[in-house]
Amino acid sequence: MATIIIPTPLRKFTNNDARLEVKAGDIQGTIRELTQHFPGLAKHLLDEQGQIRSFLNIFVGDDDIRDLQHEKTVVQDNAVISIVPAIAGGIQI
């Protein structure tokens, strides 16, 4: 099993669980499994087409999946996956 770390803002959708065990596979399958168990996460993780939202960052260990095989990145047993929301803002002009 791999471990997925839920970012603090989204833990209200996972009964405040910060770390969850998921089956090894690939990132797309892992995220899909996660949203099936916790449907409230879906709109924060997936777009209307069911794909991982483009502004979401996902790390396997310390590596951004954009530097690996994106959503096809293989998740090994004992891997630690982190979901990292985009943090941005600023004044209105």
Partner 1 sequence: MINIEPTARALMLSDALQTFPNECCGFMFGTEDEEGNRIISEIMVVDNAKEGDKTRRFEISPVDYLKAERHASASDRLLLGIYHSHPRHPAVPSEHDRKAAQPYFSYVIISVHDAENTGIRSWRLNENEQFEEENLGFFQFNLS
Nearest to residue 79, comparing CAs of 2, 8, 12? Answer: 2
Q: Which of 14, 25, 57, 71 binds partner 1 (CB under 8 A)?
A: 57
Residue 48: DSSP 8-state:
T
Q: How far is the CB of 38 from partner 1 (least distance, A)?
A: 14
Q: Which of 59, 60, 79, 81 binds partner 1 (CB under 8 A)?
A: 59
Cα gap 65→51, rounded to integer Å: 14
88 binds partner 1 (CB under 8 A): yes
Q: Which of residues 16-45 bind partner 1 (CB under 8 A)?
A: 18
User: What's the length of the chain?
Assistant: 93
